[in-house]
Structure 1
């Protein structure tokens, strides 16, 4: 008999609700119901339970919900010994001080990349990187790194996914990924976000597996394509030191 993953539907739905708050900090019942395709009455029952347990808080004036302190309480008990966001923070701060631009750390999460840490530039005009932001894997320097250094099996799974966009020239895209693997870094210039440029490198752990993507980004008024290539060796050196820690 084929093995089947056993799940509890109510738990799945409750977790789906909590994940809605990665898209917005405040949501109403109708918005949540639309996001997870559930009847409003079902969402209301689940929200009542989540509220009683402290995972969400309801604003009586707006009738909207936001995450509760119980979520924060859980996050404080995350293991710090192997948490990349904690381990790599000092190195990211040194990198920011050396290059003067915003430094971000990304993990791949399914078909997305998740920014788990960021150190903002100290300059008056800077690119602000929000921790917790979820971004697509098909555009941006860090995305290209995470795809380029993924296993062939993982790449194939991504490319065959119905949500993966059809590339105008798939051959050119594959050649780009090969070039990224050969030189060890990727760049982007106003690809995902107008006015922003970035360079990213993989962080490879001691087992030879890509654990994360490390990037430096800033405004195009201060960062040219030449600047990105000048930043790359510095970024690669920092990523190598971080990889030895995990």
Structure 2
């Protein structure tokens, strides 16, 4: 059967699944740099309509994502979770939850676990401390640009300068809309590299946080942050919480190695 002439030809569920998995395999093979739709069409042998339909389905299910505003695609968070499982990290959330619960008890504040997904960070889970005013700055499952969170900045601090520059170029307009300048972000990244952890403050919601990132696998990054209302996050306390994060995560067995 000629794959190039199958757009209007009914296919079985098995055949559709095989085609989707084939696309996923090609996206995975190009995860680091990303792959364009036209290149997926070329390597898969499928017509444009079929490729676009299957790719859209994979994106909706979280297995593929578009890189910022580019025309490049890479693996999404669901596919990365499979990779974590095969690497012995069967459930990232379950693995780190005891540490997060301990940090929430120690600090009384809200603790978040985020994982990198391209130019974004996805919140995998959250643990609440006993302080009555909660810092619900991001909901579980929500994806935000890396530059908008303490963990995200800490992850960016682990990346090569060239990759950070490319990220700034791709997302500059979005950062500007959020009130984040390139120079401000570079300063935050430089400070995170110096301290070993990052700090962030969101004046719109009166919340501040500290974050510490680490490598899950060779090309996958995650991080834990502690967030609270600004009145609880003096410079001295941010420093104390940052040092606590570094100490606790390293003692837990994970080190920020890129």
Name the TM-score class by shorter chain: 0.5 to 0.7
Inter-partner Cα distance in structure 2 for 1:169 and 1:133: 23
Inter-partner Cα distance in structure 2 for 1:118 and 1:154: 29
TM-score, with length taken from structure 1: 0.64
The structure carrying a bigger helix percent of its residues is: 2
- Comparing 119-128 and 141-150, the one that deviates more: 119-128
Displacement of 1:205 = 5.2
Displacement of 1:89 = 0.9
Inter-partner Cα distance in structure 2 for 1:16 and 1:168: 27
* Unaligned 5+ runs, structure 1: 20-74
Contact 2:116 2:220 in 1 (8 A): no
Displacement of 1:238 = 1.5
Within the alignment, does 1:232 sit opposite 2:245 as a pair? no
Matched position secondary structure for 1:131: coil
Matches within 5 A, 1:72-221: 79=85, 81-82=88-89, 83-128=91-136, 129-161=138-170, 163-165=173-175, 170-171=182-183, 173-191=185-203, 193-204=204-215, 211-221=221-231
Inter-partner Cα distance in structure 1 for 2:166 and 2:249: 27
Q: Aligned residue for 1:22?
A: none
Contact 1:158 1:164 in 2 (8 A): no
Contact 1:187 1:228 in 2 (8 A): yes
Question: Pairwise CA RMSD of aligned residues?
Answer: 3.2
Inter-partner Cα distance in structure 2 for 1:119 and 1:125: 14
Inter-partner Cα distance in structure 1 for 2:255 and 2:95: 8
Contact 2:108 2:128 in 1 (8 A): no
TM-score, with length taken from structure 2: 0.61
Displacement of 1:245 = 8.6
